[in-house]
Chains A and B, each alone.
Chain A
Amino acid sequence: MRRSVVTDHSIVSRVFKARAIVAGLVCFMLMSGLLARLGQLQIVEYAHFAGLSKENRVRLMALPPNRGLIYDRNGLVLAENRPTYHLELIPEQVEDLDATLQNLGDVVTISDDNIEQFRTALRTHRPFESISLRTRLSEEEVARLAVNRHRFPGVDIAARLSRYYPQGTTAVHAVGYVGRISEKELNSIDVSNYRGSSHIGKTGLEKYYEDQLHGTVGQQNVEVNAEGRILRVIDKVPPVPGNDLMLNLDMELQLTAKKALGDFAGAVIVIQPKTGAVLAFVSEPTYDPNLFVHGISVKDYDALRQGDYKPLFNRALFGQYPPGSTFKPFLGLAGVDSKVIGHLQSVRCIGYYTLPNDDEHRYRDWKKWGHGQVDLADAIEQSCDVYFYELAHRLGINRMHDFLREFGFGDKTGIDLIGERSGLLPSREWKRRAHNKIWYPGETLIAGIGQGYMLATPLQLAVATATLANRGMRVKPRLLKGMRSASGERIAIEPAPVSWLELNRDDRWDQMHESMRRVLRGEKGTARATGWKLKGYEMAGKTGTAQVFGIAQDEEYDAETVARKLRDHALFIAFAPIEDPEIVVAIIEENGEHGSAVAPIAKKIMDKYLLKADAK
């Protein structure tokens, strides 16, 4: 301190004061700078940062809607949402993870796979997020867990809704099933409406009416912290559940048809001719749609895909068969309406037919020795081939094609399902286009008995038969009868459009109905055995047989099966009662040999529907 006394205090003090003022000013300026910065952040850019802050803390969460249910016409549930139970762990609440996993294994079945997947998920989840350890617990497992709950803190049984088909295999080809949304489907759906949805209709009505069934996604804004933990719900727009579907299907009739078909592969379509309502939609063999909901195992899928008669194949919709003799009533109408043959004009059947300029090639009748002198009614009753060779020859393929199109052959019926096949109604143009070959006259004859290029789906046969029953009114087959919104409101379905086939003379319809009645009631009717037992109503029908040309080479050789698979397909179309048709049935039984063999199936269905009598 001594030395400092030497310096001139007043000067130092003055210099210091000046410096202190400078320092103070610098402080003031820099403080102002800080304030300016705060002003920039908090006033000028306020909106920007307020937005970022909100983005940080507010998260939009999707609330998936409940899928609409599916009922049959009597209110029986075909597709519903059932709670399934999952075993979940919240890692941060579990004290000793290894011990817990070990002990849980004593209560429910936990595979090594489960544990491995759980451990993988553990790495990617936050400690407060629940991780699934086991899915689809059985009721017994749920009960066991509930009793032991106190032993496992942090272990939870979570209930989720998943699709369930209580009728199992019965109507799967109509109802279809849902499955997990695939990568491909993501591109074709409105992704914003599927936020939170895991499943989508894959086949059948579940796919066709996906938009109706799915509903509208809801959303909620939640407040989260930096870890992503949800703290509270800020606002919420509840989801709108999908609409329920009420189907035309009658499960009792469906079951009757399915049982009547027995263990044959094939398809049965039952429709109401006046409305197009599809009462039964059977394709056999079938499978359990519930297998697909949670992802089918490779083993199960291979079994279905390679299974005998391919259960996954929807025969009613995709199966294209030669209609065989069931084609004859339609062709007969074409003949008389085009006046190439009179109703009572007869043709001599000697067991085979030859073209006028080609004696060599004989077109055989199924009856070796022939039917003798037959008119149209006889030809229908006895299913005479020669009569129709002659008729087809007189009509020519083009007239045949144009007339039969009016019954819906060669065209999709427009049913409310996706992927329907259109069958094949051949013509000269078609052959030139498809095969680049000319049409031979002999091919017209083969087409005349519903063979050769001619192909029709069971659904097409049913629609054509309905048109016949309706005297020319063609309806669109419909599986959906009505819809009901989640609020219970009924949603009207627009009536399916109809088209008309007008004949030059209206009594041609009655004549054909009578001829088809004789198939069952006539002395020589091909289905007379069924006709004998027919009571309470009159049925018009037509049997048919479709040749099986060969067996695909890649099919396994099995003596018994192959023998059976070589047999012809049996067909039968029918409607009843004749005077006021209420029901149309079309049946294809693969390897059923002859249409007369499946006529009883039609009778069982009609008895059930018209007489409310159970099949014996």
Chain B
Amino acid sequence: MPNKYQFDTAYQGRFSRMLQIVRIDPVLLLGLLMLTLAGLGILYSAGDQSAELMQKQIVRLSIAFLVMLVMAQISPQQLYLWTPWVFVVGVILLLMVFFAGEVGKGAQRWLKIGVRFQPSEIMKLATPLMLAWYLSERPLPPGLRSLVISIILVLVPTIMIAMQPDLGTALLVAAAGFFVVFFSGIRWRVLIGTGLALLAFIPLLWRMMHDYQRQRVLTLLDPESDPLGAGYHIIQSKIAIGSGGLYGKGWLNGTQSQLDFLPERSTDFIFAVFAEEFGMMGAAVLLLLYAFIIWRGLYIADHAQDNFSRLLAGSLSMTFFVYLFVNVGMVSGILPVVGVPLPLVSYGGTSLVTLMAGFGMLMSINSHKRLLSK
């Protein structure tokens, strides 16, 4: 079995030695830098070449990379000790949102304690941390009792977030939890059985919903039934992507985006701008960049030294993929519209910081290794 240092020695140099000291994984960093640079490029186009917008996003990216750097310094052991507290504080904050949160755009997501932030963002990290913490202490694969407790640990924040309502975040939190359970080696039949049991809850949930809530869900599933409302986004987005063709209309030349036909084009729908201006070729390259980062994440998880790290790293990597898949699926019209941004590319700060904190954890897992004899 090749030693992990063999890989790194190929890159030995002053710069990479320096990175090693600050516990940064050069491969992951390369992927993240390429992706964020591509993101800045398309944001410049999507944001009407606004210098102010670019400036804000660069500041946010800098903060996010700084957070990544800080997170990389915290060893998994340290993280392990903090985990239950982070989770409990996160749930309390969610409760506070419920009672004292600020309302914006029809949803109650924000909390202001000194700074204004979304506690649900914390749960994106706290939930996989908590599950990894819980399951890594149990014999693996987990038994039925562990599974039930795991499900409860996932459902509590998921439902609280879904009630804000913030379906996108709820979905990501649930996914993060699911992947921890998945990587813990749970048996396939238990996995499938639990899945079916949860599916059985859906009709029950449907019956408990108000009419307007049902209507909202239906529109979510079939946006084209409402071409001027919710459907308008998805129709314009599909036009943008489709009219981009194989090679695209060229940077800054996407008519759908430059002429304001595409709503939310610098945030949730930025992928459509990219696909319009760079075509299918460009979109494929972008997807490859994401694949590269996800591959690196899974590689780090596979080479982690303990179960906590392994489960956490695997879940973070796959959640990143879910992010991408839900966003691109929604923008291209194969998934319902839920507010999930294109990770590391969409304009906006909160998810950027959370994502980079996650990548910081991955780097920490990769760099805080004791030499174990196997």
Which positions in A face B, CB cutoff 8 Å?
A: 1, 3-4, 6-7, 12-13, 15-17, 19-20, 23-24, 27-28, 30-31, 33-35, 37-39, 41-43, 45-46, 48-50, 52-54, 56-57, 223-227, 231
B245 touches A46 (CB 8 A): yes
Query: Given that A4-B306, A223-B259 are known contacts, is A49 also in contact with B241, CB under 8 Å in the complex?
Result: yes
Q: Which of B108-116, B207-215, B293-301, B347-355 contacts A (4 or more CB under 8 A)?
A: B293-301
B179, B318, B325: the one contacting A34 at CB < 8 Å is B325
A35 touches B183 (CB 8 A): no
- In the assembled complex, the CB of B312 is this many whole angstroms from the nearest CB of chain A, namely 12
Query: Given that A4-B308, A56-B256 are known contacts, is A49 also in contact with B318, CB under 8 Å in the complex?
Result: no
B80 touches A38 (CB 8 A): no
In the assembled complex, B255 has its CB within 8 A of some CB on chain A: yes
With A and B bound together, what is the CA distance between A289 and B136 in angstroms? 96
A4, A41, A42, A224: the one contacting B307 at CB < 8 Å is A4
B136, B138, B280: the one contacting A42 at CB < 8 Å is B280
Q: Which residues from chain B contact A231 at a C-beta distance below 8 Å?
A: 259
In the assembled complex, B139 has its CB within 8 A of some CB on chain A: yes
B242, B260, B298: the one contacting A23 at CB < 8 Å is B298
A52 touches B243 (CB 8 A): yes
B185 touches A41 (CB 8 A): no
Q: Which residues from chain A contact B284 at a C-beta distance below 8 Å?
A: 35, 38
Q: Which of B60-68, B119-127, B328-336 contacts A (4 or more CB under 8 A)?
A: B328-336
Which positions in B face A, CB cutoff 8 Å?
A: 77, 80, 136-141, 179, 182-183, 185, 236, 238-246, 255-256, 259-261, 275, 279-280, 283-284, 287, 290-291, 294-295, 298, 301-302, 306-308, 310, 314, 317-318, 321, 325, 328-329, 332-334
A15 touches B185 (CB 8 A): yes
Beyond the given pairs A15-B141, A37-B333, A38-B283, 12 more chain A to chain B contacts, judged by CB atoms under 8 angstroms and listed by A's residue number, are A23-B183, A24-B295, A30-B321, A35-B283, A38-B280, A42-B244, A42-B283, A43-B245, A46-B246, A53-B239, A53-B242, A231-B259
Q: Which residues from chain A contact B141 at a C-beta distance below 8 Å?
A: 15
B283 touches A50 (CB 8 A): no
With A and B bound together, what is the CA distance between A37 and B182 in angstroms? 27
B334 touches A37 (CB 8 A): yes
- In the assembled complex, the CB of A11 is this many whole angstroms from the nearest CB of chain B, namely 8
B302 touches A49 (CB 8 A): no
- In the assembled complex, the CB of B175 is this many whole angstroms from the nearest CB of chain A, namely 12
- In the assembled complex, the CB of A500 is this many whole angstroms from the nearest CB of chain B, namely 70
Q: Which residues from chain A contact B329 at a C-beta distance below 8 Å?
A: 34, 37
B243 touches A37 (CB 8 A): no
A-B contact pairs, 15 of them (CB 8 A): A4-B136, A4-B307, A7-B139, A20-B298, A24-B298, A27-B321, A31-B287, A43-B245, A49-B243, A50-B243, A53-B239, A53-B240, A57-B261, A224-B259, A225-B260
B140, B238, B294, B308: the one contacting A41 at CB < 8 Å is B238
B140, B279, B298: the one contacting A7 at CB < 8 Å is B140
B302 touches A20 (CB 8 A): yes
B259 touches A45 (CB 8 A): no
- In the assembled complex, the CB of B85 is this many whole angstroms from the nearest CB of chain A, namely 17
Q: Which residues from chain B contact A33 at a C-beta distance below 8 Å?
A: 334
A42 touches B287 (CB 8 A): no
* Shortest 7 CB-CB contacts between residues of A and residues of B: A49-B242, A53-B243, A226-B260, A15-B185, A225-B259, A41-B242, A42-B280
B236 nearest in chain A by CB position: A56
A7, A20, A52: the one contacting B183 at CB < 8 Å is A20
